[in-house]
Amino acid sequence: MRFAYKGIKAYYEEFGEGEAIVLLHGFLETSTMWHYLVGEFKHTHRVITIDLPGHGKTGCLGYVHSMEEMAQLVMHLLQHLSVSTAKFIGHSMGGYVALAIAHMKPSFVSGLCLMNSTFQEDSEERKELRQRSIEMAKTNYENLVRLSFSNLFAPESRTTFKNQFEDALEVALQTPVQGYIAAQNGMQLRKNHLESFLKVQGPKALIIGSKDTIVDGEFLKSTVQDADVSVCELSGGHMSHIENMYDLTYFLLHFIQ
């Protein structure tokens, strides 16, 4: 289904009835990444998935998609659907968007799971890497996406989950260059949202891949060790929904209950 937002068409789907669960995909992904989990959640919950700006079937708003702008789109949709509160599960960039919602309108968020994501802001090194990627995207986009995408998986996962890897890569390659640039620009602008995460009035969780080269899992665990945060560490890299689907599903079913 589509809805209008600031002159573009945005795409979403909803399934089931009950307490609302909002699933937010990551960078170079679309709402299709949640297909299996939707099938598990929809029997007991109202599940809402969204293509974030510049991804999937949702258009671009410009060349900077800040996490706050993406959050505004999500909140606009939820208001349209008469959803006043929901649990959020965000993968990677989707976690950054969920944190922006928790910061901007805490009452919307009744639970928050950061899946292969972080409340940290970008380091200066990471910002420089994003800027170099933006420049490369203008001239050598396909090779850039192929190279960066393979780094999201643990080395053995590229073989073990070869078909799923190739399917996810095909989705990533369909992301328009403008969507890639806008998201990279937005991610390097984001702030540290640890405080907003810890203030969520409801269950809070971190899902960490032990071989994730994108997210510093050890730092996250040490930061929340004295807080009311559930931590699930899985073997594998950044793509837990592919590399550890069954263990992930078990954990998330408990989280949403």
Q: What angle do CA 223, 87, 222 make, to 5 degrees?
A: 10
d(CA 34, CA 107): 25
Mean pLDDT throughout 16-39? 98
Pairing of strands 2-5, 8-15: antiparallel
CA-based nearest residue to 183, from 75, 69, 74, 33: 69
Share of the chain above pLDDT 70, in %: 100
pLDDT band of residue 255 (cuts 50, 70, 90) is very high
Residue 32: per-residue pLDDT: 98
Residue 190: per-residue pLDDT: 97
Residue 36: per-residue pLDDT: 97
Residue 117: per-residue pLDDT: 98
pLDDT for 147-192, tens place per residue? 999 999 999 999 999 999 999 999 999 999 999 999 999 999 999 9
Residue 134: per-residue pLDDT: 98
pLDDT for 210-221, tens place per residue? 999 999 999 999
Domains of the chain: 2-256 (3.40.50.1820)
This prediction has a pTM of 0.98
Mean pLDDT throughout 215-242? 97
Q: Which residues of 2-17 are buried (b: 16+ CB within 10 A; e: fewer)?
A: ebebeeeebbbebbbe
pLDDT band of residue 28 (cuts 50, 70, 90) is very high
pLDDT for 31-84, tens place per residue? 999 999 999 999 999 999 999 999 999 999 999 999 999 999 999 999 999 999
pLDDT for 96-134, tens place per residue? 999 999 999 999 999 999 999 999 999 999 999 999 999
Residue 199: per-residue pLDDT: 98
Beta carbons of 186 and 198 less than 8 angstroms apart? no
